[in-house]
Structure 1
Amino acid sequence: MSPLLLLLFTLPVIAAHAGPDSKAGPASDPKAEIARGPVQPQAPNAVHTLRQIPEACARLEGMFTGQADDPYTFTVVRISPQCQPRARFVDAAKAKPAQNGWLLNDVIRVPNAACPSQQAVVHVWRKPVDKTAKLDGQGQQRIYLEEQSQKAKAGQLDAIPMFAAQMTVEGAGCTR
């Protein structure tokens, strides 16, 4: 067996045994709430949907740029002007979701079709609200317009769930 073939077969085994203390790859990610299969490789300069979050009226879109200094960009796009959000999408840099009681909701790994050694990794975080609201006799939570209007005027609105997303690019870039 050639040394190159031997190396190609042993690298995945070595990477699999890197252990949970390693800082690279899926072993370092905490377990996400959503188990996602592999994503189709995406071509450069083609906008693609990463995920929709209906409760926040948001869609995550990404694109490989083909540029070495900024190989991947992603944005949060409002789904529809008529959509009434039940959750809020916030800036991950300000919220610091990895350390403030947020839950890892989803990890999306997008391979670059033009450069198989490179992939974009998007972490979607969710911060649930405390559901200790009062229930009526039918076990339902009732929301009354007048009561909510008074709370809004006083600046005491109830907390709503929040989402945040962080993106990194893993792997070496390809030269053309």
Structure 2
Amino acid sequence: MLLAFLAALAAAVLPLRAQEPGPAIQRPPGSPQAVGAGHTVRQIPEACTRLEGVFTGQAEAPYRLRSVATAPQCRPRARYVDATVARPSARGSWILNDLIRIPRAGCPGHEAVVKVWRKPAEQAPARDGQGRARVYLEEGRRQAGSGRLPALPQFSAQLELAGAGC
């Protein structure tokens, strides 16, 4: 009886697990990082943003993640939005773009897990006869003057801690 119940449960759960999409970018875990050593977690060139992380060694906040602008002359083609504001999830039309695992040096069971989410723009720009999306200077100025600028794609990142502290 118990075996039949477990088989029925597995048959119901496996299709649900198959529907959960994984990240668009597949990567192995990062190199172990020492406590206090700042490191780049991920660059998001479309949003002119770099995600930086550091293991703090503090019990209340063992890992700190922050976004940093890459260069003042960079022209963003997307926006980076803080996860507390954006609340990214698959139900909110966000796409899991990347899953980054950063183990702590000297404590391989403890790792920071950063989920990078992407939300596509509402509508793609129109394509010309060559199949390219082009924005011409005068057309762009007219759109900006009328306040009808197209929405930009968005990126956001969530931090989770996995494993036990050392």
User: Secondary structure of the equivalent of 1:150?
Assistant: helix
- Cα distance between partner residues in 2 of 1:170 and 1:56: 28
Shift of 1:150: 2.9
Task: Assess if the C-alpha contact under 8 Å between 1:44 and 1:114 holds in 2.
Answer: no
CA RMSD, Structure 1 to Structure 2 (Å): 2.1
- Say if 2:146 is the partner of 1:154: yes
Q: Deviations over 1:43-71 (max 9, x none)?
A: 00000111111111111110000000100
CA distance in 1, matches of 2:124, 2:44: 24
Report percent identity of matched pairs.
Answer: 54
- Give the C-alpha shift of residue 85 in structure 1: 1.1
Give 1:120's match in structure 2, choosing from 109, 112, 116.
Answer: 112
Q: Aligned partners of 2:53 and 2:22: how far apart in 1?
A: 23
Q: How many angstroms apart in 2 are the aligned matches of 1:30 and 1:49?
A: 26
Alignment partner of 1:95 out of 52, 63, 86: 86
The answer as to 2:131 corresponding to 1:139 is yes
Structure 1 residue aligned with 2:71, among 55, 72, 80?
Answer: 80
2:102 to 105, 110, 114: 110
1:170, 1:91 → 2: CA distance?
A: 21
Give, in whole Å, the separation in 2 of the partners of 1:127 and 1:100.
9
Amino acid at match of 1:75: R
Counterpart residue identity of residue 101, structure 1 = S
| Separation in structure 1 between the aligned mates of residue 102 and residue 124 of structure 2, nearest angstrom | 38
Structure 1: tracts of 5 or more residues without a match: 1-18, 20-28
Matched, 1:167 2:162: no
* Deviating 4+ runs (over 6 angstroms): none
Displacement of 1:121 in angstroms is: 0.5
How many residues align structurally? 149
How far did residue 30 of structure 1 move? 4.2
- CA drift of 1:81 comes to 1.1
TM-score by length of structure 1 reads 0.77
Deviation at 1:117, TM superposition (A): 2.4
Q: Who is 1:7 aligned against?
A: none
Per-residue deviation, 1:79: 1.2
1:88-126 deviations in Å (ceiling 9; x for gaps): 101112212113101000011111113222111100001
